[in-house]
Structure 1
């Protein structure tokens, strides 16, 4: 019988961390040093036209090293975790065939885990009638039902994202089994080095606030208005994360002023970063690098070099 420890797997470097921690910059620096290519593990950057609100890398940054799985589908389309897993694995394998180093870079824990742990994701096709019924119910009711059917998913899911909550419920109701119990790890495909970037909490919050201010200066509101003009609904925009959710609510008059919108967006983003960190902290394999210390790139490079030297 094949010994699991004897299996030779190709190398994959993962750069992860909370929002505004500096993942993209570190990923680019490592890719430049180690002849690498970057695979985005961001659940929003797959959508075309959602550039400012998702902090998508710029055309200049893309010119420095190859980037993959950006701008995959239009915002009106649905892109599932299962689709990401299939396409990410295909891209990583192609990078390896070119004898380059693949770097999976992002902050979406589910996306990262599906690749690192090779999750066997439930193949439940979307159920339009069931989804329509669920979408007609208040989010609070959906969360209560999910807590009864699948307490583990109720904790790990983005509780403010109706699309994620509905998908977890959909799988539970169709299969009769908790969604969390159906996401099982298969044999890992890659030997992974997981590098996490961490900051003291107050400094991370400052970085988040500064980036929100920069996004607004870059035209975040205009980006949201453009998507609305193209026919995207406010409800759909809500599913694309906090930046789009709060700007959309302000534009439809649910918030009194732009100042209130910005302040509430910053507070919600702090909470989101805390939840990201709580999720990542469960994984003891992550090597955490302190962003406040000098020489972040040098320390990450040392870790990658040691990883590659000892297969």
Structure 2
């Protein structure tokens, strides 16, 4: 027997059905849901983030949704700190914490598989680094800290810049005492053509649900200078609202970006999350129910 708190983690690519599966498991196994989504923390960004409805939130308690203004920044270290606190509270009440979301980096960090840092970010330094080509930034990071460079997505400029900040200020090895979890980690898998159909349909649904109103709010608040403004689901519509492309072209771009993102998510989960168990999308609820009955 282990004294580690049990947590269920439901991961998977965009449009794979994580939220629906999490709600079903929470209802069945007396759980509460913690969002592991880098964008659902923002208020008023509902459609582009595929945030669950208020009705669904009333069905099962949800955490780390709608906690920040869209102009705020939010880091993986902040996510882990808050999630640890919420997990402890849920467990103390005899319930099952269920972490659900598509930000694999958050999941990896929560499970203790990612070195965390609490280095403060310097806006002026970040602005200067943003002006440099990605290749130059990667070279600097490798020169400064080869080990750190191997743990960073070198194709993601924002993460490379963050890693340079850490390497410059030399605090990334700071020990952090965190709880360890007995985690059941699930990934939802669909045949590629089915997943792509779900992604394409979601993009069209976003238009029908009024995504452009949310895009206008982001543009007014700062556009791509905001964390939310860099996100798939919003940035594709900026050129449309600025008169550079047609709506159909923007939707096509969103569908393409979302499919590529899903592919990256799957690759990340397969290579970065140890012990992950895959369930098939069509039968995910039954598969996971049987698994949890044995595990719990």
Q: What TM-score, normalized by structure 1, do the two folds share?
A: 0.85
Distance 2:179 2:291 in 1: 21
In structure 2, the residue matched to 1:306 is: 294
Question: How far 1:27 sits from its partner (Å)?
Answer: 0.1
Distance 1:115 1:183 in 2: 17
Distance 2:288 2:249 in 1: 39
Equivalent of 1:94 in 89, 95, 104: 89
Equivalent of 1:274 in 238, 258, 263: 263
Cα distance per residue 1:69-93 (max 9 Å; x no partner): 0011111111111111100000010
Distance 1:62 1:128 in 2: 35
Distance 1:206 1:88 in 2: 32
- Asked if structure 1 preserves the Cα contact closer than 8 Å seen for 2:224 and 2:230, the reply is no
Distance 2:200 2:95 in 1: 36
Distance 2:119 2:113 in 1: 18
Distance 2:32 2:96 in 1: 6
Distance 1:185 1:117 in 2: 10
Question: How far 1:153 sits from its partner (Å)?
Answer: 4.8
Distance 1:189 1:247 in 2: 41
In structure 2, the residue matched to 1:157 is: 153
Equivalent of 1:62 in 57, 75, 83: 57
In structure 2, the residue matched to 1:9 is: 4
- Asked if structure 2 preserves the Cα contact closer than 8 Å seen for 1:119 and 1:183, the reply is no
The residue correspondences of 1:101-250 to structure 2 (distance < 5 A) are: 101-117=96-112, 119-139=114-134, 141-143=136-138, 145-146=140-141, 153=149, 156-157=152-153, 159=155, 162-175=157-170, 182=173, 189-229=180-220, 231-236=221-226, 239-250=229-240
- Asked if structure 1 preserves the Cα contact closer than 8 Å seen for 2:15 and 2:199, the reply is yes
Task: Count residues with an aligned counterpart.
Answer: 294
Q: Could you tell which deviates more after superposition, 80-89 or 277-286?
A: 277-286
- Asked if structure 1 preserves the Cα contact closer than 8 Å seen for 2:73 and 2:227, the reply is no
Distance 1:144 1:211 in 2: 38
Equivalent of 1:260 in 249, 260, 273: 249
Equivalent of 2:36 in 33, 41, 45: 41
Sort the Cα spacing of 1:110 and 1:125 in 2 relative to 1 into closer, same or farther, 3 A.
Answer: same
Question: How far 1:235 sits from its partner (Å)?
Answer: 3.0
Q: Could you tell which deviates more after superposition, 75-84 or 111-120?
A: 111-120
Q: CA RMSD in A?
A: 2.6
Distance 1:155 1:216 in 2: 37
Name stretches of at least 5 consecutive residues in structure 1 with no aligned partner. 1-5
Question: How far 1:307 sits from its partner (Å)?
Answer: 0.8
- Asked if structure 1 preserves the Cα contact closer than 8 Å seen for 2:279 and 2:288, the reply is yes
Tell me the secondary structure at the aligned position of residue 288 of structure 1: strand
Name stretches of at least 5 consecutive residues in structure 2 with no aligned partner. none
Question: How far 1:141 sits from its partner (Å)?
Answer: 4.5
Cα distance per residue 1:214-266 (max 9 Å; x no partner): 0111011111112333x33343266441111111233234x421111111111
Q: Could you tell which deviates more after superposition, 50-59 or 136-145?
A: 136-145
Question: How far 1:144 sits from its partner (Å)?
Answer: 5.6
In structure 1, the residue matched to 2:278 is: 288
Q: What TM-score, normalized by structure 2, do the two folds share?
A: 0.89
